[in-house]
């Protein structure tokens, strides 16, 4: 598709390209697990993070949450 052509969504589907920017969600509600809450606090940094860095940020958060899950109750890694 040439750069000058306008994107047309398939029939019955709307295009996200023509929509307003998404609003960031409110702060994450506390989970009751301080180590998990600390990791989820990293989501607060995303609005200021360049979009091309989001995948790495999500990967880091995923890895930290997985490590916390694998550590089991009462074995906080942070």
Decide if 7 is inside a domain.
no
Helix ranges (DSSP H) in the chain: 34-40, 54-71
47 vs 21 pLDDT, higher one: 47
Please state the domain count of the chain: 1
Condensed to tens digits (0 to 9), the pLDDT of residues 2-44 reads 555 665 666 666 655 566 666 766 777 888 888 999 999 888 8
Q: Is residue 17 part of a domain?
A: no
Whether 2 is in a domain gets the answer no
Task: Specify if 67 maps to a domain.
Answer: yes
Asked, for residue 52, whether it belongs to a domain, the answer is: yes
pLDDT at 70 > cutoff 50: yes
Classify residue 44: in a domain, yes or no.
Answer: yes
Q: Is 10 part of a structural domain of the chain?
A: no
Q: What's the pLDDT at 16?
A: 57
Range of the domain at 57: 29-78
pLDDT higher than threshold 50 for residue 1: no
42 lies in some domain: yes
| Nearby residues of 29 by Cβ (< 8 Å), 6 or more positions away | none
């Amino acid at each position: 598709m040439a750069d000058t052509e306008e994107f047309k969504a398939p029939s019955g589907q709307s295009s996200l390209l023509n929509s307003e920017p998404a609003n960031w969600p409110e702060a994450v509600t506390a989970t009751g697990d301080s180590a998990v809450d600390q990791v989820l606090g990293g989501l607060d940094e995303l609005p200021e993070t360049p979009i091309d860095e989001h995948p790495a940020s999500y990967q880091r958060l995923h890895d930290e949450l997985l490590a916390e899950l694998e550590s089991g109750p009462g074995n906080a890694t942070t």
